[in-house]
Structure 1
């Protein structure tokens, strides 16, 4: 996989956590926590694939497992519609909820398919995860 495929995913997950400072709505905080779990796992995998840390199968599997565990929490975290001035969620989520659910399902499937058995296998499966993240963020993140 080229750097072009992994670097955008890495950039998505390396944004400062300070962006979530000041969130008051507990429901928005909870959904941000779900996304941060996915972000943390994706960051580890992206760093391995970009040579920023060595590929360690056990560490890669732990990161993938964290993503797999958090992914099913996306849709429930966005029900019902909640807002906060610091929220990055687009109102389009609730206007197009079936399409948003489809994006979340695609992420779950990509997470389930993450293969950490080797660096080459991870590269191939991580590409699908990255595409899923980018697609949803392009449509539903402000």
Structure 2
């Protein structure tokens, strides 16, 4: 399980004295615990790995946005810190589909659903998320679906 891998890597980083990695992994663990608490009152994913992947994807997205903002603001040292955290987070995410694979998945879903107009975008996105949620960057996929349906 991904949660166990994160715990093991945290212990290894602590033993190695890698403070930056330890801090980043502890941050990940804290976010996962926060999500566990939220899941008690709401609808929780059936699979624990799905919950962890959801948290990791959200954290990765936040880091990417922060990097863009820091670079635009001329704060390269903060952007570099975010890049390091992003690299650690991405270690635990499933490998992401490249653009060609994403386009192929979109075409497959379009043909299965018979989608041919922008009105079908919601159905296509829902099916893409159901089939490839963990290995697909949904914001990038959204732009490709829109392009494909127009």
Q: Please indicate the TM-score interval, normalised by the length of the shorter structure.
A: 0.3 to 0.5
Higher relative helix content:
2
TM-score, length of structure 1 as denominator length: 0.35
Larger radius of gyration, structure 1 or 2? 2
Task: Point out which structure has higher relative CO (alpha carbons under 8 A, 6+ apart).
Answer: 1
